[in-house]
Amino acid sequence: MAVKVRIPVPLQRLTQGKEEVEGNAKTIMELIEDLDKKFPGLGERISEGGRIRRFVNVYVNEEDIRFLKGEETELKDGDEVSIIPAIAGGGIMKRRVKLIFPQHLIKEPVVFTMAKKYDIMPNIRRAKVTETTGEMVLELEGEEKNLEEGIGFLRERGIVVELVEGDILE
């Protein structure tokens, strides 16, 4: 069955920026599998082990699937599915960090690599880079586990990572 799927902003980078995509499936779980084939990585952010992740809400024609048949909710041609990350207590969080780069890594794309590998959205808040020194303050957004792994990735490469408390002045 052809259904229209609304994609939340944090996942749109996996759908090449598309807010809406089309899927073909008879049930919600089949739809997630279909979407993951078309947009690798999308499925694992919505479900795990055949179950919708705890902090993801899915609606079919504005009906919460938790009050229908959950993951086995049946779909029909023309249905509209909305994927909405939960706000309160959700898995997405922000962390501010200060990075101090060793000279040999200043020109390496380590932040880009970390962001891509661990699905983290970096926002550069401040940077000072010369030929011999590199310092950057970033706001990292992603799931807590991914943030921890991404920060570990940077540290393994010899980058000093310090957590920054409070607001960052622009």
* Mean residue pLDDT across the chain: 87
Nearest residue to 113 via CA among 56, 73, 157:
157
Task: Name the class of domain 92-163.
Answer: alpha beta
Write down the pLDDT at residue 72: 93
Write down the pLDDT at residue 167: 46
Pairing of strands 134-143, 92-101: antiparallel
Task: Name the class of domain 2-85.
Answer: alpha beta
Write down the pLDDT at residue 87: 54
Crossing angle of the two packed helices 144-156 and 110-118, in degrees rounded to 10: 150
Write down the pLDDT at residue 88: 46
Tell whether the model's pLDDT for residue 123 goes beyond 70.
yes
Fold equal for 2-85 and 92-163: no
* 20-53 confidence digits (pLDDT tens): 999 999 999 999 999 999 999 888 888 888 888 8
Write down the pLDDT at residue 91: 64
Tokens of 25: 């499936």
* 50-79 confidence digits (pLDDT tens): 888 877 889 999 888 988 988 899 999 999
Between 166 and 161, whose confidence is greater?
A: 161
**What confidence category does residue 93 fall into, taking pLDDT thresholds of 50, 70 and 90?**
confident
Write down the pLDDT at residue 89: 47
Residue type, 123: N
Tokens of 93: 């969080």
pTM: predicted TM-score of the whole model, two decimal places = 0.52
Tell whether the model's pLDDT for residue 13 goes beyond 90.
no
Three-state DSSP at 92 gives strand
Residue type, 126: R
| Domain residue extents for the chain | 2-85, 92-163
